[in-house]
């Protein structure tokens, strides 16, 4: 007689998000990179995994409930960030009603783990890096480990919350398997509402300590980079298996090590890979490295502009001028609503960013608490987009710059045509923001 052993099933969930304006402005739908690496690790460890990207699939709660009732997962892991807290709680309740063990992970639970246990439907929180903690949790559900021995886990034990010791970071990121993107709704991940988009994380962590950001705490204020060879191996895997039009390096700190960035570019060029990509950048990035990145396929750099940089306008402006010289789009990222930031300070930020010659700008609301409420921050955000994109001569000058950037590969995968179409649609959309 054959003994059939139940193979544990794990559901990984990206809940819907609060409205985020930059996603509409740029026609972008980003893939959940962290969940993708976790899914690959759990699959390689022998577990059955399915993905519910509620955000990208515009999935409602009744459909979510129906899928869980059909799939009958043993564990449901739910990603939780600042703009998804309420939605993550809803997902946990429905998962619990379907008899699953519920786990939260991501930035917010990693920082404020205990507060989530005020919700009776949350069984555990994975703090920080998730792969090995989640694996040990799955082994516990199988009866092979006790919750109290799992490092990096906070869990409910009857009427008390137990916080286990911190888990050491993964030292060899090259050892992690590549994401199984076929489990995800890849047809939904887009840039400019048209171009297929996938992402890669070539590093983890951050060495900086911005008070509004959870990443340094989540990764213990340590940065680790994968080897250039391993990074480009994954790029080859992406291009051969999934053929995205463009790739996003989703690293929070891609440019901690300039030498490693150059080595990644050299490896791309050595293997003669032709693809477009973009990443976060530092304003002290040299023109020489920008030129190398352009040769390797980089089309855009996202510069995080922080308040203290406004005292060094020449340095910021120089970074955007260098990007133009390298034929790379320079995008300024600005956050409104820091603790103690006033309305007038936000207006000064808008004046600053309209005068440093950036090609594009993304504006974000810090909703974690400050002097300004959400409705005021939303109004400031919309005002910022109007003042940046509708200013005198911007549209004509930008079309000239876009032609300059795209001229060498004007017909390659239709990127230029999609870009120009998106640009004019976006100008019309911004003109209607009030």
What are the tens digits of pLDDT across the range 18-55?
Answer: 878 888 889 899 999 999 999 999 999 999 999 999 99
Sign for the CA dihedral angle at 411, 413, 418, 420 comes to: negative
> Which tokens belong to 88?
């993550």
Q: Quick one: how far is CA 1 from the chain centroid?
A: 49
Domains annotated on the chain, with CATH: 9-163 (3.40.50.2300), 175-431 (3.80.30.20)
Measure the CA–CA gap between 98 and 104, rounded to whole angstroms: 16
The pLDDT-based confidence of 268 (bands split at 50, 70, 90) is very high
> Tokens 């021995």 correspond to what residue?
149
Beta bridge partners, 104, equal 78, 125
CA dihedral 127, 132, 133, 137 (to 10 degrees): 160
What per-residue confidence (pLDDT) applies to 117? 95
What is the average pLDDT across 265-286?
A: 96
Distance of CA 43 to CAs 63, 129, 176, 230, Å? 25, 17, 11, 20
Reference 118, options 142, 148, 85, 146; nearest CA is: 85
pLDDT tops 50 at residue 5 = no
pLDDT tops 60 at residue 411 = no
pLDDT tops 60 at residue 74 = yes
What per-residue confidence (pLDDT) applies to 3? 40
**Residue 342 CB-half CA count within 13 A:** 3
Measure the CA–CA gap between 329 and 322, rounded to whole angstroms: 10
Measure the CA–CA gap between 10 and 72, rounded to whole angstroms: 9
What is the average pLDDT across 177-203?
A: 95
Residue 303 backbone phi and psi in degrees, to 5 = -95, 120
Reference 80, options 32, 118, 145; nearest CA is: 32
What per-residue confidence (pLDDT) applies to 212? 63
- Report yes or no: 384 and 25 within 8 Å, Cβ to Cβ: no
- Better-scored residue on pLDDT, 418 or 79: 79
What per-residue confidence (pLDDT) applies to 343? 93
Residue 430 backbone phi and psi in degrees, to 5 = -65, -35
* pLDDT tens column, 390-410: 998 899 989 888 888 876 554
Q: Is the pTM of this model over 0.85?
A: yes
Residue 108 backbone phi and psi in degrees, to 5 = -65, -50
pLDDT tops 80 at residue 422 = yes
Mean pLDDT, the chain, integer: 91
pLDDT tops 70 at residue 430 = yes
């Amino acid at each position: 007689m054959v003994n059939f052993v139940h193979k544990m099933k794990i559901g990984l969930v990206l809940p819907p998000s609060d409205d985020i304006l930059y996603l509409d402005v740029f026609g972008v739908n980003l893939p959940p990179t962290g969940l993708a690496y976790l899914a690959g690790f759990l699959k390689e460890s022998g577990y059955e995994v399915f993905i519910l990207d509620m955000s990208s699939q515009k999935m409602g709660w009744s459909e979510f409930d129906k899928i869980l009732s059909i799939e009958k997962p043993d564990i449901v892991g739910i990603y939780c960030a600042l703009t998804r807290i309420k939605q993550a709680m809803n997902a946990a309740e429905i998962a619990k009603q379907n008899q699953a063990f519920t786990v939260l992970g991501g930035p917010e639970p990693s920082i404020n783990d205990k507060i989530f246990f005020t919700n009776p439907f949350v069984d555990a929180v994975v703090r920080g890096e998730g792969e090995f903690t989640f694996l040990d949790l799955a082994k516990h559900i199988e009866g092979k480990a006790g919750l109290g021995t799992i490092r990096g886990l906070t869990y409910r034990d009857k009427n008390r919350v137990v916080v286990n010791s911190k888990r050491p970071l993964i030292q060899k990121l090259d050892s992690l398997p590549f994401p199984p993107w076929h489990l995800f709704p890849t047809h939904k991940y887009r840039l400019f509402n048209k171009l297929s988009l996938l992402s890669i994380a070539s590093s983890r962590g951050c060495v900086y300590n911005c008070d509004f950001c959870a990443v340094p705490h989540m990764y213990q204020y340590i940065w680790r980079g994968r080897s250039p060879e391993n990074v480009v191996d994954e790029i080859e895997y992406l291009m051969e298996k999934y053929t995205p039009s463009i790739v996003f390096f989703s690293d929070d700190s891609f440019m901690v090590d300039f030498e490693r960035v150059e080595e990644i570019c050299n490896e791309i060029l050595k293997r003669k890979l032709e693809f477009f990509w973009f990443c976060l950048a530092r304003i002290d990035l040299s023109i020489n490295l920008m030129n190398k990145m352009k040769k390797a396929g980089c089309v855009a750099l996202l510069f995080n502009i922080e308040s203290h940089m406004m005292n060094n306008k020449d340095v910021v402006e120089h970074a955007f001028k260098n990007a133009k010289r390298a034929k790379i789009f320079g995008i300024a990222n600005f956050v409104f609503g820091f603790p103690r930031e006033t309305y007038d300070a936000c207006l000064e930020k808008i004046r600053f960013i309209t005068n440093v010659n950036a090609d594009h700008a993304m504006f974000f609301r810090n909703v974690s608490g400050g002097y300004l409420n959400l409705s005021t921050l939303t109004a400031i955000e919309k005002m910022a987009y109007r003042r940046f994109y509708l200013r005198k001569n911007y549209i004509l000058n930008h079309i000239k710059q876009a032609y300059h950037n795209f001229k060498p590969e004007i017909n390659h995968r239709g990127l230029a045509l999609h870009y120009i179409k998106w640009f004019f649609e976006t100008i019309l959309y911004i003109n209607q923001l009030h």
